[in-house]
Chain A
């Protein structure tokens, strides 16, 4: 199987390499453009499709790459290869600057900002006198390798596709790594990723710069292929077309970039040939068709074409894979039972006028299972978010093993050994159960974006996945290990959340309604698992509505109502407490 795949890949490569010798010049030119566009679209797949940051402005980064080399090689006679280095560095710096200001924008503000700087940079290219205004710069030297000038398009083809395939390979590696899992979480599960130690803001910046640099390389190649530049190909319209390519192909997959670039480029060529004839006048009418194509895509198949193809492929192939074997990861030391673990002191959280948590005070010792219960809207989940740093406290303090944590960021709190699950399941639905759980072990690995994209992280990756597989077996989901987490019933998804939290090797585990949606036997198995974890020295803070489950499992209970502590004590005491009965059943 593996060998067959390798053969197919090699055959494909050979065909791609020989193509320029077999094809007429027209098709070689077309293929060159497809390669150039693919690289930009690839950056968008990562930035928009995977990380969820829609950018209309990538064409401006292509322009930066093109204009840097055009200017430096014509005005100063710099070597194009040096100019590439300068361009990459400059693009990275500018992307960092733009990203620093705009990436923190949430929701639709970021894409609007990309339109704004996309237009500004375009006008800048056309306005700065040194860049030749709207006529641009001409007479750019040809690239040469070891003194051999690359004037022939057919030779240039090899360079372009070499670069495109290298970026595909690197991006593919990246997505399939520790950093890749975190990047995938940025789109729908940023808060979740942060609670497992991912610094989401920094990671977004890295992805943004990565995409900008891919665009820059594409622009550099473009400048030396064309041998002249003007602002037109770097306009906002081209930026929009790049986005269309990524969306059309399927913004979630690296092959979507190539497919989208190919389709748009070919359709554009065809339309430019026959639309003006059909309409009886000349002009860029292909945008009409592109636009309509996008409208239909967004209405009918929002995920793009690749998912369709993959769905056909998967139908024939049951999800499966090998369970990775690797050395065990180091673990945190056991805590002796009975030490003060978590001290919540006068914690308060207000949202506008609403007091969600009202000067709550309770403590928890290592080795115990503490239940936090109360009617709807009592503030239990808010309390969880305060402990894990997902929300800042309005006032009060929280200590974990004596360390104040109320000012720490979520990723730093995760580092201390606090793991959690979420009330509304936050799995990356399109990722396998194994990958989801491996994300939990994020802090137990070190490999970053660079090592991952160059595939230098194999050993560590095997260990992380081995650990994830171990936790999945432990919670009893061995058979679902390679399924997409989104295809599991909700109850099982909650169990995946627990496995993910365990993969972080926590000392304190926060579970938010873990038994919701489970059947009777599953609940019993879960209770059994939690008892076993307690025996191993893990401490558990539990929010749960199923009272049978809570009463049978917890050592102590804290009851909340209207953000305040209503009662505290052993389960049996709490059950008989009149105030608690009133809170749950109501009074008249």
Chain B
């Protein structure tokens, strides 16, 4: 295998005594979009939280060749690993622009001078955010919140962007817009690890896919091949479906 941005090697995650993710291995190469799909409760969010350092993981966790398993969250952020969580976790009582600027907090600590140019880039990518720069984040619509969460993550200049269910709770037209933006990000060389329940959209935008089922990788392969696989549908709607026309 050539270059690898992040490599998870037999990673397991537990809540107390309960293991939610069992020895999952996956990797993302630079410039790739990799999707992790699977039904509710399969452990997708848990996997991302552990990769980000919000939960403790067992197994191997390497980012840019370094073992990051014991690193605190802020060190991972500083190294370029950024997560857009399922619940967005915006700063509701702050304006859009403050939310964005805070996305670059670790860069402020490193006295990075190009933060303002990143802000301009984000505004170019999301013109709607620029229109609402002083509006409070808590008053945004669902789609705008997702864009703000994405924009805040991009302010950190991520090497690997991790997205948890970016389509959750959004109307189909907004989902299309979000996935369009993801495709655009890949064009610009951002690598993405995407967790989605919306299997079809995720497989269409990604290069490679993993199907997670009850905490384990049930299937993986090139996205276009997975999209044709009967077993993917079965893992969502039940195997009984196979017998039906």
- Chain A residues with CB under 8 Å of chain B are 375-377, 487, 489-490, 513, 516-517, 545-548, 550-552, 562, 571-572, 575-576, 580-581, 584-588
Contact = CB atoms under 8 A, between A and B. Distances in A.
Nearest to A429: B16
B236 A516 contact: no
A575 B241 contact: yes
B239 interface: yes
B134 interface: no
- Nearest 6 A/B pairs, CB to CB: A547-B238, A586-B198, A490-B18, A551-B240, A548-B238, A545-B40
Contacts of A375: 40, 197
A287 B208 CA distance: 63
Interface string B208-245: 00000000000000000000000011001111110011
Interface in B18-39: 18, 39
A377 B238 CA distance: 20
Nearest to A547: B238
B204 to A, nearest CB: 6
Contacts of B94: none
B238 A586 contact: no
B169 A550 contact: no
B168 interface: yes
Contact of A377 (B18, B168, B241): B168
A547 B197 contact: no
- Most chain B beta-carbon neighbours within 10 Å: one of A487, A547, A551: A547
A586 B240 contact: no
Contacts of B114: none
A586 B237 contact: no
A241 B175 CA distance: 58
Given A585-B200, A587-B201, A545 B240 contact: no
B169 A377 contact: yes
Contacts of B233: 581, 585
B199 A585 contact: yes
- Most chain A beta-carbon neighbours within 10 Å: one of B40, B198, B237: B237
For chain B, give the interface size range. 20 to 34
18 contacts: A376-B40, A487-B17, A489-B17, A547-B236, A547-B237, A572-B244, A575-B237, A576-B245, A584-B236, A585-B200, A585-B236, A586-B167, A586-B196, A586-B197, A586-B199, A586-B200, A587-B198, A588-B200
A517 B236 contact: no
A89 to B, nearest CB: 46
Nearest to A487: B17
A443 B175 CA distance: 49
Nearest to A374: B40
Contacts of A548: 238-240
Interface string B86-116: 0000000000000000000000000000000
Contacts of A377: 168-169
Contacts of B17: 487, 489-490
B237 A581 contact: yes
A489 B18 contact: yes
A164 to B, nearest CB: 37
B176 interface: yes
Contacts of A552: 240
Contacts of A572: 244
B78 to A, nearest CB: 28
B189 interface: no
A552 B244 CA distance: 14
A547 B172 contact: no
A571 B233 CA distance: 16
B41 A545 contact: yes
Nearest to B205: A588
A587 B227 CA distance: 12
A547 B240 contact: yes
A376 B39 CA distance: 9
Contacts of B239: 547-548
A562 B241 CA distance: 24
Contacts of A516: 41
Contact of A588 (B168, B201, B237): B201
Contacts of B244: 572, 575-576
Contacts of B179: 588
Contacts of B41: 513, 516, 545
B209 to A, nearest CB: 13
A168 B60 CA distance: 52
Contacts of B169: 377, 562
Interface string B177-206: 001000000000000000011111110100
Contacts of A550: 238
A371 to B, nearest CB: 11
Given A581-B237, A586-B202, A587-B198, 8 more contacts: A375-B40, A376-B40, A487-B17, A545-B41, A552-B240, A575-B238, A575-B244, A588-B201
A585 B198 CA distance: 5
A493 to B, nearest CB: 9
Contacts of B238: 546-548, 550-551, 575
A586 B238 CA distance: 16
A417 B69 CA distance: 50
Contacts of B175: 586, 588
Nearest to B240: A551
Given A489-B17, A545-B41, A587 B240 contact: no
Contacts of A513: 41
B213 to A, nearest CB: 10
Contacts of A487: 17
Nearest to A491: B18
A572 B245 CA distance: 11
Nearest to A584: B236
Nearest to B86: A376
- Most chain A beta-carbon neighbours within 10 Å: one of B172, B204, B238: B238
Contacts of A586: 167, 175, 196-202
A588 B18 contact: no
Nearest to A376: B40
Contacts of B201: 586-588
B86 to A, nearest CB: 9
A241 B185 CA distance: 60
A42 B175 CA distance: 58
A580 B237 CA distance: 9
A378 to B, nearest CB: 10
A588 B177 CA distance: 10
A345 B244 CA distance: 33
A576 B241 CA distance: 8
A139 to B, nearest CB: 59
Nearest to B142: A354
A10 to B, nearest CB: 41
A386 to B, nearest CB: 20
A376 B239 CA distance: 20
